[in-house]
Amino acid sequence: MKASWGLGSKTLADIFLPGANTEELQSLAKYQRESSTPEIAAKILELFYSIDVTRLLPNIKIPTLILHREGDKVITIDHGRELQNLGDGFMLSFDSASAAIKCACDIQKEISRSLGLI
C-alpha cells in the first residue's frame, strides 16, 4: 500500500464497498487518497487487523448486539458468529453496510428516547 497508494486506495474501496458501482468506488478511493498519506493508511490498516477483543469478552456481563454486513471481505460472517458465541450475543446480518448503519442509528435513537435523552 505504501508503494502505490493509488492502487491501494482502489483495492480498499473495493473491499469496504462490495457491490458498489464504479462512481462510488472511484469517489471513495479519491477521498482516501486526499484524506491520508500512504504511510498513515498503512498504519491504520495494520492497527485494524491487530485488534483482538476476544480476551475482553468474558468481562461483558450484558447481552451484546452484533450488526454484521453479509459479504464483508474483511470481517467475515464466521467472525461475527464467533463473537456472538463467545458471549451473550445476538447477531443481525444485513445485505449492505448502509442498512446496518441505519439499524444502528435507529436503535441508538430508540434507546436515547426511552432514557428521556431526546
Out of 61-65, 95-99, 110-114, the most confident range is 110-114
Q: Are the CB atoms for 57 and 28 separated by under 8 Å?
A: no
At 55 the pLDDT is 84
Ordered by start, the domain boundaries in the chain are: 5-49, 55-114
* 69 phi and psi angles, rounded to 5 deg: -95, 120
Of the candidates 61, 77, 58, the one whose C-alpha atom is nearest the C-alpha of residue 69 is 77
pLDDT bin (cut points 50, 70, 90) of residue 7 is: low
What would the DSSP string read from start to end of 80-112?
HHHHHHHTTEEEEEESSHHHHHHHHHHHHHHHH
Query: Cα–Cα distance between 53 and 42 in angstroms, integer?
Result: 21
CA gyration radius, the chain: 17
Q: pLDDT by residue (tens digit) across 17-39?
A: 777 788 887 887 888 788 888 88
At 61 the pLDDT is 82
The pTM assigned to this predicted structure is: 0.57
Beta partners for residue 92, in sequence order: 67
Q: pLDDT by residue (tens digit) across 32-70?
A: 788 888 888 888 888 888 888 878 878 888 888 888 888
Of the candidates 88, 84, 18, the one whose C-alpha atom is nearest the C-alpha of residue 60 is 88
